[in-house]
Amino acid sequence: MGAILLGAVMLAALFAPWLAPYDPIKYFDNRNALRPPGREFLLGTDNIGRDQLSRLLFGARISLTVGLAVEGVAVAAGTLAGLLAGYFGGRVDEVVSWLVNLTFAFPGLLLAIATMAVLGPGLTNVIVALALVSWPGIARLVRGEALRVREQEFVTAARALGARDALILVRHVLPNCVAPLLVAATLGMAGAILDESALSFLGLGVQPPHPSWGSMLGRGRDYLWAAPWLTTFPGVCILVTILGLNLLGDGLRDVLDPRMRGSK
Amino acid sequence: MLLPLVVGITLVTFVLMNVIPGDPTISLMDPKRGQLDPQAAERIRQRWGLNDPAYLQYLKFLFNAVRGDLGFSFRFNQPVTRIILERFPATLELGLAALVIATAVGVPGGIAAAVRQGGWLDASLMGFCVAGVSMPVFWLGLLLMYLFAVKLGVLPAGGYGSPSFLVLPSLTLGLSSMAMLSRMTRSAMLEVLRQDYIRTARSKGLAERVVVYKHALRNALVPMVTVMGVQAGWLLTGAVITENVFGWPGVGRLLVDCIGQRDLPVVQGCVLFTVGMFALVNLVVDVLYAYIDPRIRLGR
């Protein structure tokens, strides 16, 4: 179910240039402003006469780019930090744990908002800000796994056979983290996409004229009375994407984690 | 453990707000009147210690923050602490209302779903939970606004005043917490209801109501309080979004407004203040643990 929803969004993003009937940014005509959904413009037009359907299709690209890039960076950095901290302990662990706790001391979006305030709006900055708040969750998860695996006998056996730390980490510790990582990254992607749309909605994220779903909603808010379709459709897009990722994440967890089975 | 964290938080906030290029005195100038006279700019720098080395500025900032002085906003021409405290009651009102809604619906809902596991109520509640967690707050707010303010015209679309203004924002903010809380309540209750002492309680003929509310609920409270603590943190940032949707004059709206205006002392103050509130909530949660579960004692 989640995979179907997500697949639809991915296809939309991938084939946006061919599916979109109009150019999402350049095509605009003030005479067509605020047209309700109809034959010419399937999902209506915005305040300066841009086709909403085309903008939504290209918006899928922005959302997925943010989701993938943020989780990519977060998983890479978080895994590395978590592995080192959990496996070696000591000073490394202290520093990593301090950084993780530090980030967790900022509730939710706050650190991302503060970072955006400093960096200024823009797609790359959104990715930087969200990656900054996403990696500690991954690091904490991997650290826990690494701590658990480190004590197991097959690691001791590998070490007794003379394996180097790097080899043990890659061959023995890392594979044990893959399943929970996959779940965390899927759910994290949902969070990142939701956060991007929230930042853009507040005017701190992706800037116009680029079609981010969040900023489209933020703009549409001013036309809630005159043109409710401007807030309805971007919202549906966000909801469908997030729902798809969350369902997929929950599904993955049920499949990959036998402990969770039955308790559902 | 706490001290390095406090230093870290203040340091992060301080560094974030001070890496921005540009001379803060420029923001004092009226662009229409052209250049600020350099001597005046120098006097301002002297007065606010802007010529001091960075570490000295940070120490001053830290020292003042500890005393409750978060700096001075040139735009408001007021101390930052006063500006934030003026806005805070509105945020508190919104957050508490949302928490009450989330608890009042989420906890009984979760219990009911757990007791009749697999029933229609359970299924529909879980469906609602997944949707509630995936729903963007700002879209929910706009939908409610459209339905109740534009279409039905029964509630105000935004602003601050009589209790009717509170209904839509608190519903908006509370819904996802409600979903999380009912999901957590349900799984905590299911976990507890499976245990032996519940079977004992039932087999000695206690009414089901007593078993559920007196025996089971008490032990399910610990994970529930944890979620409530996490939710309170979420409510703090969710409030930033909700306040901006509904034009609610709280700290969250102040924060976003001041980012737009580049009023950095206020931004810095809002961030630090919110982190402080979050820490306070976590402390309350820890104390609640000890109260709920006598096995957990503080400072063991």
pLDDT digits (tens, 9 = 90+) for A137-170: 999 999 988 888 888 888 888 888 888 888 888 8
Cβ–Cβ of A246/B278 closer than 8 Å?
no
* pLDDT attached to residue A263: 42
**Residue B44 is assigned to a structural domain of this protein:** no
**Residue B170 is assigned to a structural domain of this protein:** yes
* pLDDT attached to residue A129: 92
Q: Which residue of B has its CA nearest to A195?
A: B136
Helix, coil or strand: residue B72 = strand
**Residue B52 is assigned to a structural domain of this protein:** no
Degrees, nearest 5: CA angle B292-B298-B300: 125
For A118-140, how does the pLDDT look when each residue is reduced to its tens digit (9 = 90+)? Answer: 888 889 899 999 999 999 999 99
Cβ–Cβ of A246/B130 closer than 8 Å?
yes
Degrees, nearest 5: CA angle A238-A242-A244: 120
* Domains annotated on chain A, with CATH: 2-262 (1.10.3720.10)
* pLDDT attached to residue A81: 92
Domains in chain B, number: 1
Residue B242 half-sphere exposure toward CB, CA atoms < 13 A:
31
Cβ–Cβ of B240/A235 closer than 8 Å?
no
Task: Give the Cβ contact number of residue B299 at 10 Å.
Answer: 4
Q: Does A80 touch chain B (CB under 8 A)?
A: no
* pLDDT attached to residue B55: 78
**Residue B38 is assigned to a structural domain of this protein:** no
Cβ–Cβ of A115/B135 closer than 8 Å?
no
pLDDT category at A192 given cuts 50, 70, 90 is: very high
Instruction: Tell me which of A40-44, A147-151, B267-271, B285-289 is least confident.
Output: A40-44
Considering only CB atoms, A243 lies closest to which of B16, B134, B157, namely B134
**Residue B18 is assigned to a structural domain of this protein:** no
CB B84 within 8 A of CB B270: yes
Please give the Cα distance from B213 to B217 (Å, whole number): 5
Q: Does A119 touch chain B (CB under 8 A)?
A: no
**Considering only CB atoms, which chain A residues are within 8 Å of B275?**
105-107, 110
A118 CA: distance to closest CA in chain B (Å)? 6
Q: What is the 3 state secondary structure string of B19-55? A: CCCCCHHHHHCCHHHCCCCHHHHHHHHHHCCCCCCHH
CATH number for position B123: 1.10.3720.10
Please give the Cα distance from B276 to A135 (Å, whole number): 23
Q: A201: which 2 tokens?
A: 């909605």
**Element housing B134 (H / E):** helix B120-134
* pLDDT attached to residue B299: 53
Percent of chain B's residues with pLDDT above 90: 4
**Residue B188 is assigned to a structural domain of this protein:** yes
Q: Does A100 touch chain B (CB under 8 A)?
A: no
For A7-64, how does the pLDDT look when each residue is reduced to its tens digit (9 = 90+)? Answer: 777 777 777 777 777 777 766 676 776 677 777 777 777 777 777 888 888 888 888 8
**Considering only CB atoms, which chain A residues are within 8 Å of B150?**
224-225, 228
Cβ–Cβ of A110/B9 closer than 8 Å?
no
Q: Which residue of A has its CA nearest to B130?
A: A243
Cβ–Cβ of B233/A108 closer than 8 Å?
yes
Decide if pLDDT at A264 tops 50.
no
Decide if pLDDT at B243 tops 60.
yes
Cβ–Cβ of B241/A198 closer than 8 Å?
yes
Of A204, A236, A264, A248, give the one whose Cα is nearest residue A71.
A248
Q: Residue B216 sits in which domain range?
A: 80-292
Size of interface A-B (CB pairs under 8 A): 130
**Residue B179 is assigned to a structural domain of this protein:** yes
